[in-house]
Structure 1
């Protein structure tokens, strides 16, 4: 199970939660196997009284704050060096663009109706240096039952070619709810072709 955390720049409203004015009620014991004699307390509390929302650190702190200007400059320098190391480089952007173009040309050679669309971290330029390329493959002219087989067949035939632009190997079909074909590329890029269910 995945948990997705989102951040917002808006503070939480002050009306979250309800303040209790009477003591909490005890619930009756739970019945059934393994729960004999357990009781639960469920008081309603105002979450702002328990854990106040921390104030955001300003981009340029007040000189009289607890962080000295020298410490702040060192922190910004360290952050900048990390961002330079994980930020997409021009060469990684060109490589991903070439791989996407190659996959588009490969499928259009077999059927003019194929449409290959990049999504996820690549078009948003938020991928890590060893991140994957997420692609969706659409084709209205081919039935859903045959699409996965045809995609695998095209990639496996490309796997046999010695003169292809990119080395295609270890083609794997993943029969999930959203069908996937996984193709590792150059030990740094996993190329996924997800079939759209539109």
Structure 2
């Protein structure tokens, strides 16, 4: 099943709006994730549910009724800070590329939280007020063209350029030595990802990060 369709379905069947919102940030099924750990490790994390942390964060904005604003709040707090900005900035600087993202001024970000919903999104037009202002300065075919992302090519790297690196860092010898992950399940994930049975590149990237931290600091 297409990753986005599966993600939408998982969100759609949630019991309430907050669960729907928090589930939209999930990359992989929680029960499948738990299989990646050895039983003795799973005992410590069995009752941990990332969704609880996301829903708990919404308590910081208790008077917010708009689901769109709730999604934007979680996007700013988690996805942008820990994902796009962090990875892109470090990787680009490491290769001598200057990547700078606009609209990161703290006062400007706080101001945008006060913009009415009707000016943030109208129909299917996102960033409505920004695009209307931009019409004074740019041609409409530029403003309203399809979005083109500039994210790191994680899927391409994990499945191709870094394939040998993945096999080495997540080898049976290394994983057995660290004694945290279920080797069979990790290798099944890697194979299923290569065979395009699952979209597991970001999970594999996380496993590589954990392996690196353990190897360097244990």
| TM-score, normalised with respect to structure 1 | 0.22
Which structure shows the bigger proportion of residues in helix conformation?
A: 2
Q: Which structure has the greater CA radius of gyration?
A: 1
Which structure shows the bigger proportion of residues in strand conformation?
A: 1
| TM-score, normalised with respect to structure 2 | 0.20
Q: Taking CA–CA contacts closer than 8 Å with sequence separation of 6 or more, which of the two structures ends up with the larger relative contact order?
A: 2
